């Protein structure tokens, strides 16, 4: 950002009052009688009810529409380990997105905890407050253990958006791009650059959708993740291949799909030029992609490209997923978020891209028309159909996978 934009961003966060979120009261609190209901003595009745049956918390408190957005600040945006407190503006931003897109309330919680056990202990102890937990900006590989442990210990949905949110939107866009390029997920060769939270979760979900593990090559800072390496954590080792390929260029020979969740300018024109016919490139590093889309298109005129940016076509944006996944999970009283629920979200999001686009979406982007094709493989974030369709599909999958408690009518 230039100096003027930096100042604008700081002023936006500072004025007229610091930060981006607050709380509001949902019941009348004007008369003496109102206050008697809101606090003592009236409040004793729901306390007794919840003490007798904890499920009543969903009827008498805001728990069922409240998500904790929780971080330790160890992997904030592209800024790295800035610490819990410096992550707070991002967590408030996430709260804004939850409220704006799915009317879910958020408390953002920043935890000083470098060790997974400390972080897990803290979240378990405060979990009664919430109807769901959205983990955010926690570095890999610790994030995998944290999410798995919390999910097993808590009876509310736990979702690490940097893992599963990213994976769901990548999968939705990729399935549509494969259809346009006349390819099948069962056959394509996939290269994923970046073996952190997003990369590993995306490869796992693509396997769940039919991609064979043997067709995937993962790259980290040290090149191809192959079976001969002795520096791999257990999550990377899951994807280690028996292969002679070592460099990024080796990996890209004949690849159908490139998924970049790594860093800027790591994908060269030479690497794109050795890909298979009709390739798909998801250059998702933000704010600067692995390759500039114009450069990619100059190199190959038969490719489909997506980025994480809103100023290029095909933005892979997590806001297409997490607000609606949580809305469906909360509405069905899901105790966890299953892979079936992830796949239901993928299917519904990809279907929307094939349907006629509402006028208000075209107006928001200053477009005359938008139709399913190489420059429109995934819905726009402001599409009002997302809230109508995705939560229903997710809730249905929660019921079908046996994790719904149905707190709400």
Q: Which residues are catalytic?
A: 39, 94
Distance CA 8, CA 79 (A): 20
Q: Return the sign of the alpha-carbon dihedral for residues 308, 398, 151, 199.
A: negative
Q: Whose CA is closest to 195, among 242, 163, 149? A: 163
C-beta of residue 320 within 8 angstroms of C-beta of residue 379:
yes
Number of Cβ atoms within 10 Å of the Cβ of 40: 10
Q: Across 90-215, where does the E strand assignment appear?
A: 105-110, 132-135, 158-160, 190-193
Tokens of 329: 């999970």
- With left for phi above 0 and alpha for psi between -120 and 50, is residue 265 left, alpha or beta? left
Q: Across 89-241, where does the E strand assignment appear?
A: 105-110, 132-135, 158-160, 190-193, 216-220, 223-224
What φ, ψ does residue 315 adopt, rounded to 5°? Answer: -80, 120
- Please report where in the chains the tokens 């966060």 appear, as a residue: 13
Q: Whose CA is closest to 218, among 240, 233, 202? A: 240
Question: What's the full length of the chain, in residues?
Answer: 409
Tell me how far CA of residue 215 lies from CA of 187, 248, 261, in angstroms: 8, 15, 18
């Amino acid at each position: 950002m230039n100096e003027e934009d930096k100042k604008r961003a700081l002023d936006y966060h500072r004025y007229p009052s610091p930060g981006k979120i607050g709380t509001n009261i949902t019941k009348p609190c004007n008369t003496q009688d109102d206050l008697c209901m809101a606090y003592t003595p009236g409040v004793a009745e729901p306390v007794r009810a919840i003490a007798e049956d904890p499920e009543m918390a969903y009827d008498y408190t805001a728990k069922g529409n409240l998500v904790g957005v929780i971080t330790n600040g160890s992997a904030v945006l592209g800024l790295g380990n800035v610490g819990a407190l410096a992550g707070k503006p991002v967590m408030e931003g996430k709260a804004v997105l939850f409220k704006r897109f799915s009317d879910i309330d958020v408390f953002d919680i920043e935890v000083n905890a470098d060790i997974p056990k400390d972080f897990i202990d803290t979240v378990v102890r405060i979990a009664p407050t919430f109807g769901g937990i959205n983990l955010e900006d926690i570095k890999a590989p610790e994030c995998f253990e944290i999410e798995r442990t919390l999910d097993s210990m808590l009876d509310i949905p736990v979702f690490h958006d940097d893992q599963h949110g990213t994976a769901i939107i990548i999968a939705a866009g990729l399935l549509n791009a494969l259809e346009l390029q006349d390819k099948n997920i069962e056959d394509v060769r996939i290269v994923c650059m970046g073996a952190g939270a997003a990369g590993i979760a995306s490869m796992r979900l693509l396997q769940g959708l039919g991609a064979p593990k043997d067709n995937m090559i993962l790259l980290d800072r040290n090149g191809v993740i192959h079976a001969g390496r002795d520096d791999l954590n257990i999550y990377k080792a899951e994807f280690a291949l028996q292969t002679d390929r070592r460099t990024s260029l080796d990996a890209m020979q004949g690849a159908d799909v490139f998924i970049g969740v790594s860093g800027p300018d790591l994908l060269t024109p030479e690497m794109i030029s050795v890909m298979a016919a009709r390739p798909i490139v998801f250059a998702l590093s933000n704010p600067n992609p692995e390759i500039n889309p114009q450069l990619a298109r100059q190199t190959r005129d038969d490719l489909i490209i997506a980025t994480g940016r809103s100023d290029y076509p095909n933005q892979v944006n997590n806001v297409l997923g997490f607000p609606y996944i949580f809305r469906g999970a909360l509405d069905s009283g899901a105790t966890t978020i299953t892979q079936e629920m992830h796949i239901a979200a993928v299917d519904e999001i990809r279907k929307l891209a094939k349907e006629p686009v509402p006028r208000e979406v075209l107006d928001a982007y200053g477009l005359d028309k938008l139709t399913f094709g190489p420059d429109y493989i995934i819905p726009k974030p402001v599409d009002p159909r997302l809230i109508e369709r995705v939560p229903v599909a997710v809730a249905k999958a929660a019921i079908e996978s046996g994790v719904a408690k149905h707190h709400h009518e």
